[in-house]
């Protein structure tokens, strides 16, 4: 089985670009990825593209050929949709495609355009990631679903809004030097606590913003990199995916995310590493409680102890295991269908040493990306390692 | 175009008549319709078993930023309550059907006993599962 290398990564600035089309956003990210990789577009064997709500936001289905045009590649092109994990599954399939020998070069990533909708439209768009009959009709919004999990977590394990505010404050701090981040402003624990409620117990600063943006990765086989003198020092050594019951109410436990634990176990086994080997992680903090649940599912903290990870400094930039040095979804932004690709782009730069926050992890060899869909009915975990 | 959802519609009709049910497989796993096999273990047949008269709130949230279908309903309380072999997700309403008290002292807590029925959204009269606190 060939090793998969990250030859190049590209992002748009995440933020509010309501007038920019999805095809233009993805074209920019792909352009940057090709420039970073030094790989010819003609060599791309497949395009794996993630997008969640393009049919609602842009009245545009069948986006994969459109994005192949935008990136100027002519090859099999497929759109992947798993809600907020859309790009994660697109990348995972790209890894499997390169490993299988089906293609030496795959362009993978995603795009979401959201701010052209008003808040109500975006809220409605995000809500369709939940079970329409039994959740959405009962008033479950995306923040509402995570609020239900947060309350269940507090009941099961303790913890409070202040613990969550430490997650928000940490991630805003991390985003300050990140030129791709939507919010490059510090938020104190007090400011986070004082923000208005969205779905109690979650308040405005517990939630990621509505974001436009795109991500693109050029993944290549180890042999292709060697033959073409492509500098690709970071390898994707592990991939795993998990699935849970769609509706939160149908899960055995409302305060944990076993799909992410399943994905992590598979990805760690695939890479031959364990949680103790991980030096840095990008996790799916669409809400502050989601980072807590992710840290536990990835094995960085025992169940019930993830709530203290940011407050106690385990996951801060100068902690033993920095989490979301990019700023996370929370501060960097969450263009839904692009997020899974952007996490791997950020991790790659952190491991290569050319990320503005690389100074916090100078000796990092192993990174983990955790991308979740809906209320973690879908989860994808990737392990990245410095190969050269 | 039809708004009907076979299986779900019959289920919510029954709930509105005080005859709510769960589908239960031979192994005792509960689920909600439409189902052909048990989503937990794949077993069949599934029997319709009456829901207990009261359930227990396991978690809830006060939603302040609604989707368009709930624009006139916010703020409102969504809760997940255990009813025997299943949980139901519903809007919590007081005995008068209003949302008085939301925002300054929640009308439910984890552990509150509730009964399940059917109400209408204020925004568009759509039918919703309603959970009402009951005296225990
Ligand atoms: Zn069963």
The full set of domains in chain B, from first to last, is 1-51 (no CATH), 53-136 (2.40.50)
> Residue A336 and residue A53: Cα distance in Å, rounded?
8
Between chains, do B87 and A134 touch, taking CB under 8 Å as contact?
no
Sheet bearing B30-31, strands edge to edge: B30-31, B21-24, B47-50
Q: Does A206 touch chain B (CB under 8 A)?
A: no
Residue A162 placed within a domain: no
User: In this predicted structure, what is the pLDDT of residue B104?
Assistant: 46
User: Is A204 touching B (CB cutoff 8 A)?
Assistant: no
Q: Please check whether residue A40 lies inside any domain of the structure.
A: yes
Q: Nearest C-alpha of chain A: how many angstroms from B121?
A: 9
Locate tokens 């300054």: which residue? B104
Q: Tokens at residue A287, please?
A: 């809400």
Catalytic residues of A: 84, 334
Low-confidence winner among A23-27, A74-78, A117-121, A172-176 (lowest mean pLDDT): A117-121
Name chain A contacts of B71, Cβ cutoff 8 Å: 120
**CA gyration radius for chain B?**
16
Which residues of chain B lie closer than 8 angstroms to A121, CB-CB?
68
Smallest Cα–Cα separation from A97: which of A223, A227, A4, A234? A4
- The answer to the question of residue A165 being in a domain is no
Which of A120, A155, A196 faces B71 most closely, judged by CB atoms? A120
Q: How far apart are the first and last CA of chain B?
A: 45
Structural tokens at position A171:
């991630």
Nearest to B59 among A135, A202, A254 (CB): A254
Residue of chain A nearest B111, judged by CA positions = A155
**How far apart (Å, rounded) are the C-alpha atoms in residues A120 and A294?**
28
CA distance A42 to chain B (A): 44
- Domain around A56: 4-117+209-386
Interchain contact A158–B (C-beta under 8 A): no
Cβ distance B5 to A133 under 8 Å? Answer: yes
| pLDDT at residue A192 in the model | 98
Q: Residues A242, A266: contact at Cβ < 8 Å?
A: yes
Tokens of A31: 């352009």
> How many beta carbons lie within 10 A of that of residue A71, not counting itself?
27
DSSP code at position B131 = E
Task: Write out chain B residues lying below 8 Å of A140, CB-based.
Answer: 78, 89
In chain A, which ranges are continuous DSSP H helix? 22-37, 54-57, 63-71, 86-100, 119-127, 142-157, 161-175, 189-194, 222-227, 258-271, 288-297, 328-332, 339-352
Beta strand B30-31 pairing with A197-200: unpaired
Q: Among residues A203, A144, A21, which one has the least CA distance to residue B77?
A: A144
- In a domain, residue A64? The reply is yes
Answer whether B109's CB lies under 8 Å from A151's CB.
Answer: no
- CB contacts, 8 Å: A152 with chain B: 58-59, 110
Q: Is A263 on the interface with B (CB under 8 A)?
A: no
Residue A380 CB contacts under 8 Å (≥ 6 apart), including other chains? A82, A85, A88, A89, A91, A92, A239, A240, A241, A263, A340, A370, A371, A372
* Token pair belonging to A356: 């503005």
Per the domain annotation, does A183 fall within a domain?
no
* pLDDT average, residue stretch A26-35: 98
Q: How far is the CA of A358 from the centre of ligand 1 (A)?
A: 49
Strand pairing class (B127-133; B86-92): parallel
d(CA A52, CA A190): 34
Smallest Cα–Cα separation from A113: which of A59, A77, A69? Answer: A59
Query: CATH number of the domain that A221 lies in?
Result: 3.40.47.10
* Nearest Cα residue to A322 out of A332, A330, A310, A311: A310
Reported as a pLDDT band with limits 50, 70 and 90, residue A265 is: very high
Confidence (pTM): 0.97
CB atoms A138 and B91 under 8 Å: yes
To the nearest 10°, the Cα dihedral for A31, A34, A35, A37? Answer: 160
Helix axes A288-297, A142-157, angle to 10 degrees: 60
Whether the CB of B89 is below 8 Å from some CB of chain A: the reply is: yes
Cβ separation B61–A151 shorter than 8 A = yes
pLDDT of the residue at A120? 82
Q: How many CB pairs under 8 A join A and B?
A: 102
Mean pLDDT of chain A: 97
On whether the CB atoms of residues A221 and B85 are closer than 8 A, the answer is no
Report the pLDDT value the prediction gives residue B10, as an integer from 0 to 100: 97
β-bridge mates for residue B113, sequence order: B56
Distance from CA of A61 to the nearest CA of B (A): 20
The end-to-end CA distance of chain A, in Å, is: 18
A159 within some domain: no
Mutate which: A56, A135, A137, vs B, most B CBs within 10 A: A137
Ligand 1: distance of its center to the CA of B7 in Å?
Answer: 19
At residue A216, the pLDDT reads: 99
For residues A293 and A167, the answer to whether their CB atoms sit within 8 Å is: no
CA dihedral (A199, A204, A210, A213) in degrees, to 10, reads -130
Segment 265-304 of chain A within 8 Å of chain B by CB: none
Each residue of A84-109: b (16+ CB within 10 Å) or e? bbbbbbbbbbbbebbbeeebbbbbbb
Question: Looking at beta carbons, which residues of chain B come within 8 Å of A161?
Answer: none
Probe site for chain B from A132, A139, A251 (most B CB atoms < 10 A): A139
Place of tokens 């969504």: B78
How do residues A300-347 score in pLDDT, each as one tens digit? Answer: 999 999 999 999 999 999 999 999 999 999 999 999 999 999 999 999
Tell me how many domains chain A contains.
Answer: 1
Q: Are B81 and B52 in contact (CB under 8 A)?
A: no
B78 → chain A, closest CA residue = A139
Ligand 1 centre and the CA of A131: distance in Å? 20
- B31 CA distance to ligand 1 centroid (A)? 9
Cis preceding-peptide flag for B34 (omega within 30 of 0): yes
Q: How far is the CA of B101 from the centre of ligand 1 (A)?
A: 40
The answer as to whether A349 is a domain residue is yes
What is the mean pLDDT for each group of 10 consecutive residues in chain B (136 residues)? Answer: 92 97 98 98 98 97 91 93 98 64 65 96 92 87
Residue A136 sits at the chain B interface (C-beta within 8 Å): yes
Q: Please, are residues A48 and A97 in contact by the beta-carbon 8 Å criterion?
A: yes
DSSP letter, residue A206: G
A288-297 and A258-271 helices, crossing angle to 10°: 50
Give B-chain residues touching A202 at CB under 8 angstroms. Answer: 61
| Nearest CA-CA partner of B8 in B41, B32, B31 | B32
Instruction: State what percent of residues in chain A have pLDDT above 70.
Output: 100
Specify whether the CB–CB gap between B115 and B55 falls below 8 A.
Answer: yes
* Structural domain contains residue A131: no
Beta partners for A368?
A: A281, A383
In the predicted structure, residue A209 carries a pLDDT above the cut 70: yes
């Amino acid at each position: 089985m060939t090793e998969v290398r990250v030859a190049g990564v590209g992002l748009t600035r995440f933020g509010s670009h309501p007038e920019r089309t999805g095809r233009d956003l993805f074209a920019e990210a792909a352009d940057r990825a090709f420039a970073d990789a030094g790989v010819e577009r003609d060599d791309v064997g497949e395009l794996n593209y993630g997008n969640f709500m393009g049919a609602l936001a842009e009245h545009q289905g069948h986006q994969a050929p459109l994005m192949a045009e935008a990136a100027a590649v002519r090859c099999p092109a497929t759109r992947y949709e798993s809600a907020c994990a859309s790009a994660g599954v697109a990348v995972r399939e790209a890894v499997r495609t390169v490993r299988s020998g089906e293609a030496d070069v795959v362009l993978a990533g995603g795009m979401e355009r959201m701010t052209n909708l008003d808040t109500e439209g975006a809220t409605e768009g995000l809500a369709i990631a939940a079970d329409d009959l039994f959740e959405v009709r009962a008033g479950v919004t995306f923040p509402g679903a995570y609020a239900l999990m947060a309350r269940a977590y507090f009941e099961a394990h303790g913890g409070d809004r202040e613990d969550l505010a430490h997650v928000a404050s940490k991630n805003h701090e991390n985003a300050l030097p990140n030129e791709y981040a939507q919010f490059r402003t510090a938020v104190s624990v007090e400011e986070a606590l004082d923000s208005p409620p969205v779905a109690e117990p979650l308040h405005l600063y517990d939630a990621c913003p509505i974001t436009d943006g795109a991500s693109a990765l050029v993944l290549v086989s180890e042999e292709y990199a060697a033959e073409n003198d492509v500098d690709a020092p970071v390898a994707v050594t592990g991939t795993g995916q998990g699935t849970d019951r769609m509706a939160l109410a149908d899960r055995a436990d409302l305060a944990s995310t076993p799909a992410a634990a399943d994905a992590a176990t598979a990805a760690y086994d695939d890479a031959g590493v364990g949680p103790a080997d991980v030096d840095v992680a990008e996790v799916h903090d669409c809400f502050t409680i989601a980072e807590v649940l992710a840290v536990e599912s990835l094995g960085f903290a025992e169940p019930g102890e993830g709530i203290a990870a940011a407050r106690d400094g385990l996951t801060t930039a100068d902690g033993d295991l920095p989490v979301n040095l990019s700023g996370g979804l929370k501060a960097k932004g969450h263009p839904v269908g692009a997020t899974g690709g952007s996490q791997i782009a950020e991790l790659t730069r952190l491991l290569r040493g050319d990320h503005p926050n690389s100074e916090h992890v100078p000796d990092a060899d192993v990174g983990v990306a955790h991308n979740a869909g809906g209320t973690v009915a879908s989860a994808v975990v990737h392990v990245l390692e410095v190969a050269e | 175009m039809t708004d009907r959802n076979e299986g779900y519609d019959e289920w919510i009709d029954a709930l509105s008549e005080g005859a709510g049910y769960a589908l239960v497989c031979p192994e005792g796993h509960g689920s909600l319709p439409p189902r052909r096999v048990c989503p937990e273990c794949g077993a069949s047949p599934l029997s319709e078993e009456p829901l207990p008269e009261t359930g227990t709130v396991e978690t809830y949230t006060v939603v302040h930023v609604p989707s368009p279908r709930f624009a006139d309903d916010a703020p409102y309380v969504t809760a997940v309550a255990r009813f025997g072999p299943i949980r139901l997700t519903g809007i919590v309403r007081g005995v008068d059907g209003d949302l008085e008290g939301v925002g300054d002292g929640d009308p439910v807590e984890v552990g509150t006993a509730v009964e399940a029925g059917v109400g209408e959204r204020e925004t568009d009269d759509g039918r919703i599962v309603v959970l009402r606190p009951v005296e225990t």
